Amino acid sequence: MWSDNLEHEEAVRAAICTWAHGPARLTILAEYAVQRRGYSTDGTRLTYPGDLDDSARVQGRYIPPGYVEAAVYCGIPEERSWLVPEPFYLAVLAEMLDAAGFAADARRVRAKALVAE
């Protein structure tokens, strides 16, 4: 893995699993990853730098190039977020796609990870 930080992996997996609600929707996340598009739902969020609008930037949110922000805000008193290297996120997503039987999508995501490094 790209990081030995267990919290990063848990946050990324939470964002993926909460949004996907099952293996079939993982393929949509593969397409989002290729487009570098984030998502949010039900207490988790994954944000790419390009997802931030002017309002977020004025409020001081910043995601450096090459990173994504994984956030958890459901069931806890205060939102927690982590800046995670994009290749780490893509590696976790590809692993989950492979485990769900979507090998072609996993290959697309891995190819994007090579570009992101």
Counted domains in the chain: 1
Residue 49 included in any domain: yes
- Calculate the average pLDDT of the chain: 85
Which pLDDT tens digit goes with each residue over 15-54?
888 877 777 788 999 999 999 999 988 778 899 999 998 8
- The answer as to whether 41 is a domain residue is yes
Q: Which residues span the domain enclosing 100?
A: 6-116
Q: Mind listing the pLDDT tens digit for each residue in 7-24?
A: 788 888 888 888 777 777
- 12 close to 95: Cβ distance less than 8 angstroms: no
Confidence of residue 74 (pLDDT cuts 50, 70, 90): low
Domain-embedded: residue 64: yes
Which pLDDT belongs to residue 3? 42
Using 50, 70 and 90 to split pLDDT, how confident is the model at 61? Answer: confident
The verdict on residue 62 lying in a domain is yes
Domain-located, residue 75: yes
Structural domain includes residue 15 = yes
Tokens of 67: 């990173």
